[in-house]
Structure 1
């Protein structure tokens, strides 16, 4: 009985995790939404205007060029998923 309950709980948890990730917009779509000047990337002003913490921008801007691209955002999101966040 315990094995069946554990399996059921695990199945529900996996289904919920899959549904949550399916609802997360793609990094390119996020960048497109936040990119108000249309240059294909998000600068710190656009980032903070979108309600994101400035210190998070510095962590996501991997090459430190003052802009976050879809590739940088994807890499940051992948790293967060690996950490369980």
Structure 2
């Protein structure tokens, strides 16, 4: 893991560099020489916080991004009964 340090000015002038660096490890952004913020990739953030992907994100993924298969069971069985409306 590579830790990158950028000044606020460097971050503002080259955001794409900061985003690329965040894929390799945390990016510390300094303000007047002191660490003020940390930029992380979303994967690293989720790993640290223990949060997974939201249902919306899982459903929105493309087939190439899929890391799991979901094959729901067919509805049926003896528990399905017509409603008694009388």
Task: Judge same fold: TM > 0.5, yes or no.
Answer: no
Q: Give TM-score scaled by structure 2 length.
A: 0.23
Q: Give TM-score scaled by structure 1 length.
A: 0.23
Please identify which structure carries the higher helix content: 1
